[in-house]
């Protein structure tokens, strides 16, 4: 695809509080604040990769939200489509310095401006004008029933306006607490998507694809490659609109260890990235989002499946060495 791309990304802007010490509340009272949220992270990476990108969120019209949106603008993201209403920016607390030790996350995002959005508020046809790609994630319908409706409305408009659609099957069990399971909501939304990113466990939980319960840290890379190809085939059969499936595989043996590789599948081919391993992780939050941005970039720029998956995996891996939620756009 060599025509002009314009990617529209939709999701909740969050602010992350993380401690400089092992305990979140400690006698030094040192806490760092970063802008984040999966979709904002994807936008930040795309902006730095010089892909024209617009980020659409909903935040209150206040100085804090404006400051976070400015941080994105400075990375080349157009934030002018964002809706300013309500009175709360969603927060999350990382109870360690970098998600390394416990990686324990506490969300404080209920009743945020974004989660109070309802169908009918956003003029999606207007938002989709001149856009060629729409990216969303499973985090949004996980918030409440209304947000699942907003996603559906966006997807119908994106399909009608001829945009390519990608989804990240981000699974967070601390969300999805409004009485519906992902499997009851996600398939209805995913059927609009051309590109599905996630992992074999999230696909099982959200889309109902098969999973082998014997898979674990000691399963061989070859076996994981095979399972990934099988899952992808099931996805192509269940969701005929989809032509691209990518999975990440991340294993951690201790707080600073990361074994990281990716797989990419099209209806006619399976492609595996090289395997990355490090014992020096700086900040693991957002590496899946950097992978997603690399995947979008790869699909836009390259015909070759190997180049696509190497770009995505390289981008996700490099994020492990960047502080904060946003990557630095390198692969």
**Mind listing the pLDDT tens digit for each residue in 277-304?**
999 988 888 999 999 999 999 999 999 9
Interatomic CA distance for residues 49 and 70, integer angstroms: 18
List, in order, residues 6 or more apart from 166 with CB less than 8 Å away.
133, 134, 135, 136, 193, 194, 195, 196, 197, 244, 292, 295, 296
* pLDDT of 94: 85
- Give the global pTM: 0.95
* pLDDT of 179: 93
Interatomic CA distance for residues 266 and 236, integer angstroms: 8
Q: 162: phi > 0 → left, psi -120 to 50 → alpha, else beta; which?
A: left
Averaged pLDDT of the chain: 93
**Mind listing the pLDDT tens digit for each residue in 207-255?**
999 999 999 999 999 999 999 999 999 999 999 999 999 999 999 888 7
Tokens representing residue 269 in the block? 């081919």
Interatomic CA distance for residues 192 and 241, integer angstroms: 6
Spans in the chain with pLDDT lower than 70:
1-3, 22, 96-103
Tokens representing residue 202 in the block? 């999230």
């Amino acid at each position: 695809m060599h025509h002009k791309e314009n990617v529209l990304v939709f999701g909740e802007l969050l602010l992350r509080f993380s401690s400089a010490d092992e305990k979140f509340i400690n006698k030094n009272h040192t806490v760092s604040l970063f802008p984040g949220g999966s979709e904002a992270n994807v936008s930040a990476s795309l902006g730095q990769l010089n892909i024209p990108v617009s980020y659409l969120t909903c935040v209150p019209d206040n100085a804090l939200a404006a400051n976070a949106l400015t941080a994105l603008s400075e990375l080349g993201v157009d934030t002018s489509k964002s809706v300013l209403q309500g009175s709360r920016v969603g927060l999350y607390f990382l109870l360690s310095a970098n998600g390394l030790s416990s990686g324990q996350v506490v969300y404080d995002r209920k009743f945020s401006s974004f989660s109070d959005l309802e169908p009918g508020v956003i003029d999606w046809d207007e938002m989709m004008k001149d856009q060629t790609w729409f990216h969303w994630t499973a985090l949004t319908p996980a918030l409440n029933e209304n947000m699942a409706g907003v996603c559906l409305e966006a997807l119908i408009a994106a399909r009608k306006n001829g945009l390519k659609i990608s989804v990240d099957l981000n699974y967070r069990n601390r969300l999805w607490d409004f009485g519906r399971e992902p499997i009851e909501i996600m398939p209805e939304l995913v059927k609009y998507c051309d590109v599905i990113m996630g992992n074999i466990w999230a696909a099982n939980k959200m889309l109902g694809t098969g999973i082998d319960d014997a898979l674990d840290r000691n399963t061989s890379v070859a076996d994981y490659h095979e399972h990934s190809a099988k899952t992808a085939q099931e996805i192509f059969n269940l969701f005929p609109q989809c032509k691209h499936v990518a999975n990440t595989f991340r294993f951690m043996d201790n707080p600073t260890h990361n074994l990281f590789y990716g797989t990419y599948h099209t209806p006619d081919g399976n492609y595996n990235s090289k395997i990355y391993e490090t014992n020096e992780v700086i900040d693991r939050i957002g590496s899946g989002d950097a992978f997603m941005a690399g995947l979008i970039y790869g699909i836009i720029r390259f015909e070759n499946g190997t180049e696509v998956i190497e770009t995505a995996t390289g981008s996700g891996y490099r994020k492990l060495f960047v502080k904060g939620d946003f990557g630095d756009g390198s692969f």
